[in-house]
Amino acid sequence: MNLDVYLKELEELVNIDSGSKIPKGVDKVCDLLFKKFEGLNLIVKKHYISDDAGHCLEIRNKDNENIDILILGHMDTVFGEGESTKRPFTIKDNRAYGPGVVDMKSALLCIYYAIEELINEDNLNKSICIAFNCDEEISSIYSRELLEDLGRKSKYALILEPARANGAFVANRKGVMKYKIEFKGVASHSGNNHKEGKSAINELAHWVLNLHKLTNYEKGTTVNVGIINGGSSANVVCPYASCEVDIRVTCKEEADKIDKAINELKNNIHTQGVEVVINGGLKRPPMPMTKEREDLHKIVEEAGKEENINVHWTDAGGGSDGNIVASVGACVVDAIGPIGGLAHNEKEYLEIESIEPSIRLLKNIIKKLS
């Protein structure tokens, strides 16, 4: 791998606005990667999944039903149109900057170069499937079915999300639950007919307090009402309000308990005459440790030791596509991509010195699993 060539290719990818809600940008990234992997004489195909999303990319070395090693990445970022024009790819003090530079466009190229080198060394023996989706940053709402299908067929799954700023990989991930709750009341003049009104905001306020009571730090459960909307004028009893809720849990049992508790709140409406509509649920299942994953972690640690790479672990409150494929049976190791920090931030960065070790580690993991 020539680092100068890699960085020029990374610059091209980063300078494409490929936010989850910019399908044409995701497809530009997809087209570039399609050509690169096709040049390795691999089986490459695009997956159309929705008019509202870009394509997904699937790459295989063998036309097998079952997959020995699934390698996952995503082509989308959290940023909107025009972000790469405002702050294009730059390099300063051995760090690269730009939208999606570490989350996770750098890893897409690391995967390519690891596979290229394995092919050149005649070391790509197992059935390998690489999948890049278009909507990971919005919980893979369009590509989930594809990911679940690939996960069911896979023995192992390597998730190339970025390593943490301190170089740690991710051991366990919390599950992610999302809800939108709507409150439908009755409007009235707040001066002349206040009593006839049924305030949606009043009901919402009680729900916010009750929802936050579901947080349990000892169990690792957090509930956050992050967005509330409602009202049109101070002199109108509010007929409509809504809130959006983000919940993180460590196990499926806790997710079921929280979902039940939220729906039971409908049985205790505080503001009579207000209708409550709940939409949502578990978007990414928790990814707890298992014996199989512990064994895989040991293999990764051995691979790192052989490459003089310090492999260490941390837990994460955020989800990844690893949660999805783990929930259908794949044995997952997560966040083994290049090192960086401040993802989803205008100061997001990639440690350039971590690129080459990331490629070496991925290669050695694949060899050991073969």
Give the torsion sign (CA, 352, 356, 362, 368): negative
Domain that holds residue 259: 182-284
Percent of the chain with pLDDT over 70: 100
Boundary residue ending a domain (257, 284, 311): 284
Could you report the per-residue pLDDT of 175-225, keeping only the tens digit for each? 999 999 999 999 999 999 999 999 999 999 999 999 999 999 999 999 999
pLDDT of 103 over the 90 cut: yes
Could you report the per-residue pLDDT of 106-119, keeping only the tens digit for each? 999 999 999 999 99
Rg (CA), the chain: 23
Secondary structure (DSSP) of 268-297: G-SSTT-EEEEEEEEEE--B---HHHHHHH
Shared domain for 152 and 276, answered yes or no, is no
SS3 49: coil
Boundary residue ending a domain (249, 284, 319): 284
Distance separating alpha carbons of residues 164 and 169, to the nearest angstrom: 6
Distance separating alpha carbons of residues 358 and 360, to the nearest angstrom: 5
pLDDT of 1 over the 90 cut: no
pLDDT of 311 over the 90 cut: yes
| 17 included as an active-site residue | no
| 136 included as an active-site residue | yes
Joined together, the tokens standing for residue 83 give 């972000």
Decide: 217 and 174 in contact? Cβ < 8 Å: no
Helices (H) and strands (E) in the chain, counts: 10, 18
Torsion of CA 172, 164, 2, 97, to 10 degrees: 130
Looking up residue 236, the CATH number of its domain turns out to be 3.30.70.360
Shared domain for 192 and 254, answered yes or no, is yes
Which of 103, 116, 135, 136 is flagged as catalytic?
A: 136
Could you report the per-residue pLDDT of 28-52, keeping only the tens digit for each? 999 999 999 999 999 999 999 999 9
Decide: 28 and 46 in contact? Cβ < 8 Å: no
User: How many degrees, rounded to 5, is the angle at CA 138 between CA 182 and CA 260?
Assistant: 45
Shared domain for 186 and 102, answered yes or no, is no
Residue 189 φ/ψ region, left for φ over 0, alpha for ψ in the -120 to 50 degree band, beta for the rest:
beta
Q: Which H helix or E strand runs over 68?
A: strand 67-74
pLDDT at 355 (0 to 100): 98
Confidence of residue 146 (pLDDT cuts 50, 70, 90): very high
Shared domain for 69 and 104, answered yes or no, is yes
User: Nearest Cα to 79, choosing from 149, 148, 137?
Assistant: 137
Shared domain for 264 and 152, answered yes or no, is no
Q: Which residue has the tokens 């989800």?
A: 319
Which of 9, 17, 27, 76 is flagged as catalytic?
A: 76
Query: What is the rounded average pLDDT for all residues in the chain?
Result: 97
| Averaged pLDDT for residues 353-363 | 98
> Rounded to the nearest 10 degrees, what angle do helices 3-14 and 23-38 cross at?
150
Shared domain for 58 and 134, answered yes or no, is yes
How many domains, the chain? 2
pLDDT at 370 (0 to 100): 87
Boundary residue ending a domain (231, 249, 284): 284
> Roughly how many angstroms between the first and final C-alpha of the chain, as a whole number?
22
Could you report the per-residue pLDDT of 56-65, keeping only the tens digit for each? 999 999 999 9
| Averaged pLDDT for residues 129-156 | 97
Shared domain for 297 and 218, answered yes or no, is no
Q: What is the pTM of this model?
A: 0.89
Shared domain for 53 and 198, answered yes or no, is no
Q: Which residue has the tokens 């300078």?
A: 15
User: Nearest Cα to 30, choosing from 42, 43, 44, 11?
Assistant: 44
pLDDT at 318 (0 to 100): 86
Shared domain for 316 and 331, answered yes or no, is yes
Half-sphere exposure of 105 (CA within 13 A, CB side): 35
